[in-house]
Amino acid sequence: ARANIGVVGLAVMGSNLARNLASREGNTVAVFNRSRSKTDELLAAHPEAEFVPSFSYEDFAASLSVPRTAIIMVKAGRPTDFVIDELVKVFEPGDIIVDGGNALFTDTIRREKAVRDTGINYVGMGVSGGEEGALLGPSLMPGGSDESWITLGPILKGIAAVAEGEACVTHVGHDGAGHFVKMVHNGIEYADMQLIAEAYDLIRRATGKTPAEIADVFAEWNRGELESYLIEITAEVLRQTDAETGKPLVDIILDQAGAKGTGAWTVQTALDLGVPVSGIAEATFARSLSSHPEQREVSRELPGPSGTDLLSGEDADAFIEQVRLALYASKIVAYSQGFDEIRAGAAQYDWAIDLGAVSKIWRGGCIIRAQFLNRIAEAYDAEATLPVLLTAPYFVEALGRAQDAWRHIVSLSAASGIPAPAFSSSLAYYDGLRAERLPAALIQGQRDFFGAHTYRRIDKEGTFHTLWSGDRTEIEAEDTH
Ligand code: 6PG
């Protein structure tokens, strides 16, 4: 038994994670892949790394020191279940199986329960940062038992990204907590990307600037409060010219956004938890809308507003600044909603998730890494149980600064027929939160009218029903929700 850590599944993410592990002092990395060729390729390409290859699960287990610790990096779903079953056969109580794929957290909860009965520790771990992150330093979101964290913690701290001197890994919580948090990370990633895309579209259609010119705008934004990986790569993508046609690449790429499902999971879970993640939902639906060419085709002639003149000069500059502020405000909403979902998930599944710690491990390595996460960390440092993130003083100030521009941009998008679903739904959420009274009272009245669903009153305790089809007097009733 020579290796202290193993990796199963040597596609790009697994290979890169294995190389990252092997590059750290103190690690010897056992590697295993279903088909032998991937293992041979990895060994041949990286003779510098001290890998211990195995070609059967038995040998793989034998090559690991106790407690045996293996990170599975295979496709989510059945392939993951298959590998777990094989590892359970050759591992012993106290050993640790880590799933580093994008598993659905409820699958992780189920697997953890099943594996726990064998005495083996099962850890669902969110891994963010793509291929480069896996190699150079990802953001890691492990769930699982406290016992597993004792062994895993030091290993993971060694390979994670570092932000402000701190490793981007924390023990998120038990069983599915890590994958839950990774899921919400991806939901926020969807919202962030959609907001950036809307900002680009608004600028392009309102000012007529070229993608390369807009790349400069994003590069400039990346020097301020919007500084983030996604803004940075947006500038890169917009600046890219297609080699074949000489046109901006963004004009050649088919405008139908793909999705592997984690955004949809975030929204589905939020619906179950009753958490309004409207920005994330709009971002997910915007991808769906883009991916229905047949519907878009027949809808092209639908009436829209008559054309307006393009903005130029100082007007264009002022407009771009307003878009920047609207983007920032909407981004605050998206993160606030995402953290709300984590808070609700933690309450529902009994996880002790430290929201401040989550914001800190997202400062480096992951796709949504941004300066901004420091502000979130500060907000939770000041008040760990903050009920609504965007009510933290820093964000209140930022929203106060941005709201006029935000409103203007949302009205302009509506008036000129430029779709900005995430911008506008974020603003509606913000105003919904702010409202002293919501028309939810009317909804309750309607529900009571057609279904005797009852309502509560603002002025006294109890549950009430109006006899709508009778004499319309009010009676006390049993609460039916
Ligand atoms: C990450 C990414 C990663 C993956 C996305 C892509 O954090 O490194 O989120 O997990 O690239 O899941 O998701 P879509 O294909 O759904 O856009």
Q: Give ipTM to 2 decimals.
A: 0.96
Distance 22 CA to ligand 1 centre (A): 25
Q: What is the DSSP letter of 248?
A: B
pLDDT at position 164 is 94
Cβ atoms of residues 9 and 83 within 8 Å: yes
Q: Are 120 and 69 in contact (CB under 8 A)?
A: no
313: left (phi over 0), alpha (psi -120 to 50) or beta: left
Strands 96-99 and 69-72: parallel
User: Distance (Å, rounded) from C-alpha 168 to C-alpha 156?
Assistant: 9
Which residues of the chain, if any, have pLDDT below 70?
480-481
Strands 121-128 and 96-99: parallel
Atom number, ligand 1, closest to the C-alpha of residue 259: 16
Q: What is the pLDDT of residue 481?
A: 62
Instruction: Please tell me the distance between residue 186's alpha carbon and the centre of ligand 1 in angstroms.
Output: 6
Nearest ligand 1 atom, CA 287: 17
* 129 C-beta closer than 6 A to ligand 1: yes
10 Å Cβ neighbour count for 13? Answer: 23
- Among 188, 189, 256, 284, the mutation site with the greatest number of ligand 1 atoms within 8 A of its Cβ is 189
pLDDT at 221: 98
What does the alpha-carbon distance between residue 124 and residue 68 come to, in Å, rounded to a whole number? 16
Q: Tell me the best of 99, 141, 262, 287 to mutate to test the pocket of ligand 1, counting ligand atoms within 8 Å of each CB and taking the most.
A: 262
Name the residue among 182, 196, 190, 130 with its Cα closest to residue 161.
Answer: 130
| 101 ligand 1 Cβ < 6 A | no
CA gap 99, 90 in Å, rounded? 16
3-class secondary structure, 304? coil
Task: Give the residue whose CA is nearest to atom 6 of ligand 1.
Answer: 260
Determine contact, residues 133/105, Cβ cutoff 8 Å.
no
Pocket flag, ligand 1, residue 130 (CB < 6 Å): yes
In angstroms, rounded to a whole number, what is the distance separating the alpha carbons of residues 284 and 257? 10
Which tokens sit at 85?
């079953």
- Please give the C-alpha separations between residue 169 and each of 5, 182, 302, in angstroms, as whole numbers: 17, 12, 50
pLDDT for res 301 = 95
φ, ψ for residue 453, nearest 5 deg:
-80, -5
DSSP state of 389: G
Q: Where are the alpha helices (DSSP H) in 222-312?
A: 229-239, 249-252, 262-273, 278-290, 293-299
Question: Would the CB of 259 count as within 6 Å of ligand 1?
Answer: yes
Q: Is 377 in the pocket of ligand 1 (CB under 6 A)?
A: no
Q: How far is the CA of 450 from the centre of ligand 1 (A)?
A: 44
